Amino acid sequence: GAVVSQHPSRVICKSGTSVKIECRSLDFQATTMFWYRQFPKQSLMLMATSNEGSKATYEQGVEKDKFLINHASLTLSTLTVTSAHPEDSSFYICSAREGQSEQYFGPGTRLTVT
């Protein structure tokens, strides 16, 4: 149980385009989902927290207009990187939790912006 999936696992896009990453909880209802970013040789950094049906709460320094988060259902959250640039290339990881349970993480999406 407690499986979280992400799609795609790997994406390459051109500078200036937008890319959407999906995060799904497969066997539980994710009342809260989190989005992290991890640069090479660094630890995970929390970008934003989203509760189903509510606007996401962004961490300091994360541009909400650039990283659009939608958590429209209890099993799906999406992260859209708008007008992507090479510096947005990173490993994006989502996690989900049901109520006050522990967080379960997706496998990650590696984004490369050329």
Residue 2 or 11: the one with the smaller Cβ distance to another protein is: 2
Ranges of H-type helices in the chain? none
Interacting residues toward another protein by CB under 8 A: 2, 4, 6, 32, 34, 36, 43-46, 49, 91, 93-95, 97, 100, 102-108, 110
Cβ proximity of 47 and 36 under 8 Å: yes
DSSP state of 46: E
Q: What is the closest distance, in whole angstroms, from the C-beta atom of residue 55 to another protein in the complex? A: 16
Residue 43 or 65: the one with the smaller Cβ distance to another protein is: 43
Quick one: which H or E segment has residue 112?
strand 109-113
Residue 45 or 62: the one with the smaller Cβ distance to another protein is: 45
Ranges of H-type helices in 1-48? none
